Amino acid sequence: MTKIKNDNFLRACRREATDYTPIWLMRQAGRYMAEYRKLREKADFLTMCKTPELAAEVTMQPINRFDLDAAIIFADILLPVEGMGINLEFKEKTGPIIHNPVRNRKDIDALRIIDAERDVPYLSKAISLVKQELNNKIPLIGFSSAPFTLASYMIEGGHSRNYLETKQMFYNEPEMWNDLMTKIVDVLIISLKAQVEAGVDVLQLFDSWVGCLSTGDYREYVLPHSKRLIDSVKGEGLPIIHFGTDTATLLTSMKEAGGDVIGADWRINLDEAWKMIGDDVGIQGNIDPLILFSNQKEIEKRVKDILNRAEGRPGHIFNLGHGILPKTPIDNVAFLIDTVHNLSRK
């Protein structure tokens, strides 16, 4: 394997010493960048995801603009569901809509297990293009949804406030729930392994909705399925980042499910989160994305606080507590990245 020139991110994933604290930003390719908005005028979101050349171009936009330590392929966690037989649409200002939500046994039985080459070939092609473009400068992250978040989308039919349909299924029909989660994990294993074969260097699981659960519900209805997914792909030999939002009460259970690095959002202090998960895994996070709408003095103060809480221990990857928001001031993004590098440089 050809060595990555800037491997600080990979070393942090392995809890090895780094030259400085590496940083990348969730949703670092997106609407806050003028380059992205210009491209979006020519193509809708799904077209961009499904056109390898466009997906590669978007992936590289923040890499060409900022001194980031990792790229992440431009895609979406819902892309595999179309191959499962789900009718997916992305609406402007509304987000993803599933027109045939999964609500009963018949719906679950009808779901197909995807073939990556047939159903998501564009993702592997985009990864190959980005790897060529990066030329081993920095690592490339591949990703998927975690099982619970994907199941919730499929059941609710889109965004949800209370996850009524999802919780009704696992409370009232636990066998049906487990059958759905089993199919979803099978699909996610295929998707992640295809990304590994295409050349990604790290995998991240996004459990963006799992914070709606109690610890008991997570452990009963989610943990076994997330663990099976992680166990099934860790044999590929790549670091795995396990991330969720609003998960301060779930971190120890998420660590039990697996991952070399556990992501923490801004609702818990970094040192408290690291104490919960233990020193045998790395941690990713965890500045509030809205801090980037403040002034640079405040940004520097928050960066110092997080770095002080990390205490220079190997295994810290600096990131936002969730994705970067549209309209985020571009100069503040550059300032954040440079400040993390400058204040943590050994």
243 membership: H or E segment, kind and range: strand 240-244
CB 24 within 8 A of CB 141: yes
CA distances from 48 to 75, 90, 126 (A): 8, 12, 11
Measured CA to CA, the distance from residue 306 to residue 285 in angstroms comes to 9
CA–CA–CA angle 180, 182, 185 (5° rounding): 110
What SS3 string covers 37-92?
Answer: HHHHCCCCHHHHHHCHHHHHHHHHHHHHHCCCCCEECCCCCCHHHHHHCCCEEEEC
Interatomic CA distance for residues 90 and 253, integer angstroms: 32
Q: Cα separation of 181 and 178, whole Å?
A: 5
Largest CA distance in the chain: 58
Residue 178: burial class (beta carbons within 10 Å; 0-12, 13-18, 19+): middle
What is the rounded distance in angstroms from the CA atom of residue 149 to the CA atom of residue 66? 30
Residues tagged active-site:
27, 31, 40, 76, 153
Residues near 201 by Cβ (< 8 Å), separated by ≥ 6? Answer: 4, 10, 139, 140, 141, 238
